[in-house]
């Protein structure tokens, strides 16, 4: 979800560079093993002038990747870099960080070559709401060749041969449901297949002052936020610049169009008991898998009793994780943290209690 937003922002910057004749390289995490800060598909844009956007690690790899990117911009030739973040300084590209991980980073020209040719169409797809996939050769032979599998099966670009293209398309189609990106051996070649599932929607009901940090933090975490309220005076665009949509509506309004329930979550917080009750009723009947309700437990219990939904496991009230939050900003952090844990199917806990790699499973 976060990679969709990051990719869209980077491609938007690439369009600006293309318009002014600027040059840049794009570094992408292709595969990881062991401990790694970011997952395959994470991106880091490096401009010839030194400007950057995004990241491929927590800051430990970026300096070397920046040097590699400058060489890629100068030569026009892509490069696959293999990093060991263990404690052995003698390992090839070893950084002696003691993090015990392996990270492959693919660096390619971004303002010329296959990526530049596909960039316009990629920007269009990132405005949509359907998953798609990119395949990139990361072997020495043909390195950097790219193929785009669009929604509906349209294919753009090529990995070099019709046979390799067919194999890559089949592999990408098989990976689309999982949303997992990584390096695969396809037709005897190493190919990075990046799957880009669209972000989940978050519907926030209630545009009071306390909605501002929630909308901002959720959007920054990758959600497409729809803010709904029946009070026009509260739906001020300047107060919610990160929201994808502002909707003036009451629950049950005939022309109300909400995001699809299979990829959406909702938080109800209008501070009106009657209005909140009807929003909860609507989201549950629509099939939303998560409905967060602000306020004390007794209030949510009463709402569910009144609508005949007592004990419905999709309702989270009080909404948010138990972080000891105080004030709108901290409450927003606790809510977004809960949203992310629900989507990841993770029981919230301290990372120090997790024995396996952070991104495993």
pLDDT tens for each residue of 337-349: 999 999 999 999 8
- Beta strands 24-34 and 101-109, pairing class: antiparallel
pLDDT at 271 over 50: yes
Is residue 202 within 8 A of residue 266, CB to CB? The reply is: yes
Nearest to 198 by CA among 176, 215, 183: 176
Nearest to 3 by CA among 179, 152, 191, 146: 179
CATH 3.40.50.720 matches 201-343: yes
pLDDT at 100 over 80: no
Q: What percent of the chain has pLDDT over 90?
A: 84
Residue 99 binned pLDDT confidence (cut-offs 50, 70, 90): low
Residue range 91-111: mean pLDDT, rounded: 73
Distance CA 159, CA 146 (A): 5
Domain ranges of the chain: 2-196, 201-343
pLDDT tens for each residue of 30-89: 999 877 778 999 999 999 999 999 999 888 899 999 999 999 999 999 999 999 876 555
The pLDDT value given to residue 314: 98
Residue range 108-121: mean pLDDT, rounded: 97
Is residue 131 within 8 A of residue 198, CB to CB? The reply is: yes
Order the strands of the 189-196 sheet from edge to edge. 155-157, 146-149, 132-137, 189-196, 182-186
Q: What is the mean pLDDT of the chain?
A: 93
Q: At what angle do helices 328-343 and 211-220 cross, to 10 degrees?
A: 40
CA distances from 119 to 91, 151, 314 (A): 36, 16, 39
pLDDT tens for each residue of 205-248: 999 999 999 999 999 999 999 999 999 999 999 999 999 999 99
Distance CA 72, CA 69 (A): 5
The pLDDT value given to residue 91: 43
Residue 288's beta-bridge partner residues? none
| Whether the model pTM is above 0.95 | no
CA distances from 16 to 19, 23, 269 (A): 5, 10, 39
For the chain, how long is the longest CA-to-CA vector? 68
Higher-pLDDT residue of 353 and 22 is 22
Distance CA 235, CA 225 (A): 13
Q: How is 266-328 classified by DSSP, letter by letter? A: EEE--S-HHHHHHHHHHHHHHT-S-EEE-S-HHHHHHHHHHTT-TT-TTEESS-S--S---SH
Residue range 10-33: mean pLDDT, rounded: 96
Nearest to 79 by CA among 63, 67, 88, 91: 67
pLDDT tens for each residue of 186-202: 999 999 999 999 999 99
CA distances from 129 to 110, 167, 224, 290, 342 (A): 24, 26, 10, 20, 21
Distance CA 41, CA 155 (A): 20
The pLDDT value given to residue 90: 41
Distance CA 98, CA 85 (A): 6
DSSP 94: B
Residue 199's beta-bridge partner residues? none
The pLDDT value given to residue 1: 64
């Amino acid at each position: 979800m976060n990679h969709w937003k990051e990719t869209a922002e980077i491609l938007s910057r690439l369009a600006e560079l293309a318009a002014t004749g600027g040059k840049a390289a794009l570094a992408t995490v292709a595969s990881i093993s062991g401990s790694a800060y970011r997952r395959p598909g994470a991106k880091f844009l490096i401009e010839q002038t030194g400007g950057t956007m995004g990241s491929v690690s927590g800051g430990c790899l970026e300096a070397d990747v920046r040097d590699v990117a400058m060489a890629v911009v100068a030569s026009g030739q892509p490069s696959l870099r293999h990093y060991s973040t263990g404690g052995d300084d003698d390992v090839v590209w070893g950084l002696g960080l003691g993090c015990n991980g392996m990270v492959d980073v693919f660096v390619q020209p971004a303002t010329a070559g296959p990526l530049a040719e596909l960039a316009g169409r990629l920007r269009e797809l990132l405005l949509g709401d359907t998953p798609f996939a990119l395949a990139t050769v990361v072997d020495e032979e043909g390195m950097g060749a790219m193929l785009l599998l669009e929604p509906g099966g349209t294919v753009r670009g090529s990995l070099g041969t019709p046979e390799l293209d067919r194999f890559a398309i089949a592999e990408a189609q098989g990976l689309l449901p999982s949303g997992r990106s990584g390096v695969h051996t396809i037709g005897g070649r190493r190919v990075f297949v990046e799957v880009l599932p669209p972000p989940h929607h978050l519907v926030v009901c209630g545009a009071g002052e306390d909605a501002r940090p929630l909308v901002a933090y959720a959007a920054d975490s990758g959600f497409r936020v729809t803010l709904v309220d029946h009070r026009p005076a509260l739906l001020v665009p300047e107060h919610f610049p990160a929201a994808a949509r502002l909707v003036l509506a009451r629950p049950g309004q005939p022309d109300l169009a909400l995001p699809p329930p299979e990829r959406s979550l909702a938080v109800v917080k209008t501070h009106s008991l009657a209005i909140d009750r009807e929003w909860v009723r609507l989201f549950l009947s629509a099939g939303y898998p998560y409905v967060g309700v602000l306020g004390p437990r007794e209030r949510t219990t009463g709402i569910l009793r009144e609508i005949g939904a007592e004990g419905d496991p999709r309702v989270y009230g009080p909404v948010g994780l138990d972080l000891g939050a105080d004030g709108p900003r901290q409450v927003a952090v606790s809510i977004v943290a809960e949203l992310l844990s629900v989507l990841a199917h993770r029981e919230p806990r301290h990372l120090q209690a997790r024995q396996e790699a952070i991104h495993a499973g």
